[in-house]
Amino acid sequence: MPELPEVEAVARTLRPLVQSRRIRCVHVFHPIATKPQTASHVARHAQGQRILIVDRKGKYLLLILGHGLLTMHFRLDGQLLWFANGKELLKRANQNKSNVHVDVALELDKGVLGFADRRHFGRVHFWESGEDCSGLSVLGIDALSRDFTSGQLAQLLAASKRPLKDFLLDQSYVAGIGNIYSCESLWHARFNPRRRANTLQSQEARRLHKAIVSVLARALECCLHPAPDFRNPEWWFQGLERVLRVYGREGKPCRRCGEPIRRREQGGRSTYYCGRCQK
């Protein structure tokens, strides 16, 4: 699932392509991608508008329009595609199994932006304002925001009795961290994923904050080099294994102490950690 670094890399790469462009036509090939909104609702409100700003909040990609905004959430496998024009879109998209899969396409005054998710978990929605989007309105402080300080994190931790892993996954506390980077942050900070959030002392909160910021910064750098290639439907983020220290490494030696990495189910997801390093 794309988390904050991946979505931020997408936003930065997309910005020069679509910012200030007008949406000439909205093609909804698979209406499931707009549910529970109707395809006509999204198309009617977005069509004819200019994309003023490309932004991100948490794991959401935001296209701020002259009136309202479009939100894109990639869920597990969603991605963006780029076509030179509407003719190329219709020639390459959804014609047969070997063609490019596209759910929703924004035909601009120059180029076409496609949203694709073969498993149909990803969503594209139109909102009159950010406050109208329940997913956005419940988000906590963004993990890349300047307001995300160690002091702010300490206050949030003190108010929660949840295990640290569950705390980090709760987007209402800190937005943008998912399963991969929560495991990585806790490994770097040397905290057991099951430790209660409100048991951390101020200096420990500073340690966790430093780990989160460092992990996300390193992952973002990796996601930008190479930058997303929207022209290639087979493209995905390269080289992330170079920055991952614990996620997906069950049974392999801890890169710090050599103890085999463990995996356990926590909150319905796999948690990877070192039983010796993380207390």
Q: Does the pLDDT at position 90 exceed 80?
A: yes
Say whether 181 sits in a helix, a strand or coil: helix
Q: Which two tokens stand for residue 163?
A: 């295990």
Q: pLDDT higher for 90 or 183? A: 183
The closest of 137, 111, 209, 133 to 167, measured between CA atoms, is 209
Q: What is the distance between the alpha carbons of residues 176 and 79, in angstroms, rounded to a whole number?
A: 17
pLDDT greater than 90 at residue 129: yes
Q: Are strands 60-65 and 51-57 parallel, antiparallel or unpaired?
A: antiparallel
Confidence label for 179 from pLDDT (cuts 50, 70 and 90): very high
Residue type, 4: L
As a 3-state breakdown, the chain gives helix, strand, coil percent values, each rounded to 5, of: 35, 25, 40
**Is the peptide bond prior to 233 cis by the omega test (within 30 degrees of 0)?**
no
Q: Which residues are catalytic?
A: 2-3, 59, 269
pLDDT digits (tens, 9 = 90+) for 221-241: 999 999 999 999 989 898 888
Q: How far is CA 261 from CA 180, 210, 211, 272, in A?
A: 14, 22, 19, 7
pLDDT per residue as tens digits for the range 180-217: 999 999 999 999 999 999 999 999 999 999 999 999 99
191, exposed or middle or buried, with CB in 10 Å at 0-12, 13-18, 19+?
A: buried
Tell me where in the chain the CATH 1.10.8.50 domain(s) lie. Answer: 141-273
The CATH number of the structural domain formed by 141-273 is 1.10.8.50
Q: Output the CATH code of domain 4-137.
A: 3.20.190.10
Q: At which residue do the structure tokens 């992952």 appear?
A: 219
Does pLDDT of 95 surpass 90? no
> Which residues belong to CATH 3.20.190.10 in the chain?
4-137
> What is the CB neighbour count within 10 angstroms for residue 44?
12
pLDDT (0 to 100) of residue 268: 87
